[in-house]
Amino acid sequence: MKRINRILPVYAADISGVCSALYELGGMTVMHDASGCNSTYTTHDEPRWYSMDSMVYISALSELEAVMGDDDKLVRDIVDAARNLHPRFICLGGTPIPMMMGTDFKGLARMIEKETGIPTFGIATNGMHSYVRGAGEALRRIAERFCPTADELEEIKAGMGQMGKGFPEGPGSGGARLGVNILGATPLDFSLTGNVSGIRKFLSCHGMETVGCWAMKSSLDDMRLAGLADVNLVVSAAGLPAAMELKKKYGTPYVTGTPIGRRTALRLAGLLRLGAGTGKNQSLFGGEASGEGVSGLHHAGPCIPGLPDDLSRERVLIVGEQVIAGSLRCSLREDLGARDVTVLCPVEGSESMAEEGDMLVWDEDEAISRIGRSTVVIADPLYRQVCPKDKQAAFVDFPHEACSGRMYHSAMRPFVCGS
């Protein structure tokens, strides 16, 4: 039945995605909400909260302010805090009640920016979508607002050349080393287990250089130089809106896929070169190699403990975010010989990245039924509770921060192939 989860969890919401994407950039993110969204985000959706400070706040909206439509208080509170904290930008995100009130985030952002001079933008999230949408929109706004125009970028490049800075034989210079932006990296999909370092290493191993990683372990200044890249790598669906924005701004092509498993990673590296060379977008999915089965190469397969050695006769179900799950599917086929693999995407997904039989619209009953029909299930451990106990199906733990939060941190391993 639509909307009902009798036992399975819900995923991190759009507002958490916004906060997660902007966390390390020195800005101030304000959730316009009464309470709850902040502690939910900081407890379950943000593994950096204890060890890395960030200016993420709640507006503490009260019933009276909501009924009276008192936006002035919100503006005043944000301006006061900004004067004390000096953020590089201010982002205002919405939750269900502002949606009910019809809060004008664009107008509020304009008022705050006028008063503080700090770049401010509002994102009209409403807590009713997944983190994919929130993080995607937040990263897109960074590209739109902070990345210079193509003309300005040329001036920056010229300046960097004169000062001896930048990438003399690398990104954007037509040299041998391709410059790549990693788009869509947040702990909600990649946790803090070394996946992001793995992606950087993967690029480096293939003679490429990371220009910026959107948005972990890169500063806002690094990200502003995104236009220097030859090609963008979209490692999760949250990176797609920014990739499209950067394509619009600079014409930079993007490649969709996550380096999981050696053969798939190798193909992805080839696609990056192809994309950079042709200027056309590429994707791991639907490519020629995705149907090729190669068995007996377990050592080259995805780094997910518990995967059976031979998947050629198995009916495999992967539950997860679409780009990562789709990349894993490629790896299972190319590295472990799997034939029958479907993806269940419990968050926003796109038909263009899906294969026939994939499930993109959430329905718990249907999800449980599919799990019951599969012989190998690769999913967050919280899905174990609906795996039929009497069947011999193999359940492979694939913990996902946006699903079980911190519950399985100790069992998390990097799944990215760093070579």
Partner 1 sequence: MLKNLHEAAGCPLGKQTEGPDAKGTATELAALSGLAPFTYGLEYSAPARGGWTIVHIGMLLPESHQVFVCAQSCLRGVVLSAAELNDSDRFSTITVDEESVLDGNCEEIIIEGITHILEGLPKLPKALLLFTSCIHHFLGTDMKLVFGELDRRFTQVGFVQCWMNPIMRKTKMPPDPFMRKQLYSLLRPARTDRRQVNIIGSNLAIRESSELYRGLKENGFFLKDICTCRNFEEYQEMASARLNIVTHPLGRPAARELKERLGQEWVYLPVSYDWDEIGEHWKCLSDLLELDWDCVWKSLKLWDIRKKAEEALIRLAHMLEGWSVVIDYTASSRPFGMARLLTRYGFRVDRIYADTISPEEEDTIAFLKERCPHILVCPTVHHKMAVLPRGLYEESGGRVLAIGQKAAYFTGTPHFVNMVEDGGLYGCGGILELAGLMQEAAMEEKDTGKLIQVKGWGCFC
Asked whether position 148 contacts partner 1 by CB under 8 A, the answer is no
Total number of residues that touch partner 1 (CB under 8 A):
81
Binding mask 179-208 for partner 1 (x = CB under 8 A): ------------------------------
Tokens at residue 128, please?
């009713």
Angle in degrees, 0-180, between the axes of helices 322-336 and 262-278, rounded to the nearest 10: 120
Write down the least CB distance from residue 376 to partner 1, Å.
23
Distances (CA, A) of 344 to 266, 277, 325, 330: 25, 33, 8, 15
Indicate which single residue of 68, 69, 83, 279 sits in contact with partner 1 (rule: CB under 8 A): 83
For 138, 159, 186, 215, 220, the CA distances from 27, given in Å and listed in that order, are: 12, 26, 16, 13, 9
Q: How far apart are CA 80 and CA 214, in angstroms?
A: 29
Binder among 21, 37, 109, 417 for partner 1 (CB under 8 A): 37
Q: What's the closest the beta carbon of residue 361 comes to partner 1, in angstroms?
A: 12
Q: How far is the CB of 273 from partner 1 (least distance, A)?
A: 34
Does residue 38 bind partner 1 (CB under 8 A)? yes
Q: Minimal distance in Å, beta carbon 5 to partner 1?
A: 5
Answer whether 123's CB lies under 8 Å from 141's CB: yes
- Work out how close the CB of 382 gets to partner 1 at its nearest, in angstroms, rounded to a whole number: 6
Contact 40, 104 (CB under 8 A): no
Q: Which of residues 59, 258, 342, 374 is near partner 1 by CB under 8 A?
A: 59
Among 21, 22, 34, 240, binds partner 1 (CB under 8 A): 34
At closest approach, how far in Å is the CB of 374 from partner 1? 21
Closest to partner 1 by CB, 50 or 164: 50
Smallest gap, in angstroms, from Cβ of residue 380 to partner 1? 10
Is 124 an interacting residue with respect to partner 1 (CB under 8 A)? no
CA–CA gap between residue 39 and residue 58 (Å, rounded) = 9
Q: Which stretch binds partner 1 (CB under 8 A): 102-110, 111-119, 172-180, 282-290?
A: 111-119
Identify any residues that bridge with 120 across adjacent strands, giving them in sequence order.
90
Question: Binding to partner 1 (CB under 8 A): which residues in 373-412?
Answer: 382, 385, 404-407
Alpha-carbon gap, residue 249 to 150, rounded angstroms: 7
Which residues, at least 6 apart from 77, have a Cβ–Cβ distance to it below 8 Å? Answer: 59
Q: Applying CB under 8 A, does 11 fall inside the site for partner 1?
A: yes
Helices (H), 60-171: 63-68, 71-85, 96-101, 105-116, 131-146, 150-162
Q: Measured from the CB atom, is 86 or 391 closer to partner 1?
A: 86
Residues 6 or more apart whose CB falls under 8 angstroms from that of 348 comprise 129, 130, 132, 133, 237
Residue nearer to partner 1 on the CB measure, 92 or 180: 92
Q: Is 369 in the site for partner 1 (CB under 8 A)?
A: no
Using CB under 8 A as the binding rule, the residues of this chain from 206 to 265 that contact partner 1 are: 219-221
Strand 340-344 and strand 282-283: the pairing is unpaired
Asked if 57 interacts with partner 1 (CB under 8 A), we say: yes
Q: Which residues contact 243 (CB under 8 A, 6 or more apart)?
A: 183, 232, 234, 254, 256
DSSP state of 359: B
Query: Binding to partner 1 by residue 95, rule CB under 8 A?
Result: yes
- Please tell me whether residue 40 binds partner 1 under the rule CB under 8 A: yes
**What's the number of CA atoms in the CB half-sphere (13 Å) around residue 338?**
27
CB of 74 to partner 1, least distance (A): 9
> In the bound complex, what is the minimum distance in angstroms from residue 243's beta carbon to partner 1?
25
Report whether 116 contacts 83 (CB < 8 A): yes
Q: Which of 82, 109, 215, 317 binds partner 1 (CB under 8 A)?
A: 82
Candidate residues 54, 252, 256, 258; the one interacting with partner 1 per rule CB under 8 A? 54
User: Using CA atoms, how far apart are residues 228 and 167, in angstroms rounded to an integer?
Assistant: 9
> CB of residue 257 vs partner 1: minimum separation in angstroms?
27
CA distance 186 to 189: 6
Token pair for residue 114?
């006028």
Q: Which of 10, 68, 150, 411 binds partner 1 (CB under 8 A)?
A: 10
